[in-house]
Amino acid sequence: MDPSFVTMGMWSIGAGAIGAAALALLLANTDIFLSKPQKATLDYLEDIDLKTLEREPKTFKAKALWEKTGAVIMAVRRPGCFLCREEAADLSSLKPRLDELGVPLYAVVKEQVKNEVKDFQPYFKGEVFLDEAKKFYGPQRRKMMFLGFVRLGVWYNFFRARSGGFSGNLEGEGFILGGVFVVGPGKQGILLEHREKEFGDKVNLVSVLEAVRKIKPQTSASEKK
């Protein structure tokens, strides 16, 4: 066999492999393979059971968080993740404005591992509760596995958070994606629902404040009279 044909064949195989890898990388950086989030309803959120993180935890319905004042709620993907800590710090920067508007800031976590929540709280200026059933991460839970590590957006987010001085660890479950909600009081409904599409996909703070400004304070029966 002519050696030139062998060489050409090897080059063709190599070029094909490179082309396939490039195509796979390109597709991985589109939203084609990302699972689409299912929107939550107010009824769904209201019925979620949450627990306090005290030594003797108390269970209550999630609607108690926003029933009277509305609320901003972060569903934390993993408290030890430096990307989650970055978003927590960003949301906490809104706390003075939220306090002026009378709207509390909360977070929910899906598990309590070692001191992870305690170590998370310096980054987050609000109360944290446990959502053992992971309902805030639904109605349809979405995961990002190893696809996340070939997405350019994720690597940009890594660099951004590291440059901002954030660090973390690998404790706990970190593949189920989180999000941020702004919920109005009573039956006003969900005013903002941000679902993390990839690791480090932060909520837009301007959008959070715009949603919070739409909150209509509840008026008591005596005030109506």
Q: Which residues are catalytic?
A: 81, 84
Q: Are 211 and 193 in contact (CB under 8 A)?
A: no
Q: What are phi and psi of 22, to 5 degrees?
A: -65, -40
Rounded to an integer, what is the distance from CA 214 to the centroid of its chain? 22
CA distance 151 to 156: 9
Q: Which two tokens stand for residue 95?
A: 């706390």
**Cα distance between residue 67 and residue 45, in whole Å:** 12
Q: Using CB atoms within 10 A of its CB, is residue 32 exposed (0-12), middle (13-18) or buried (19+)?
A: exposed
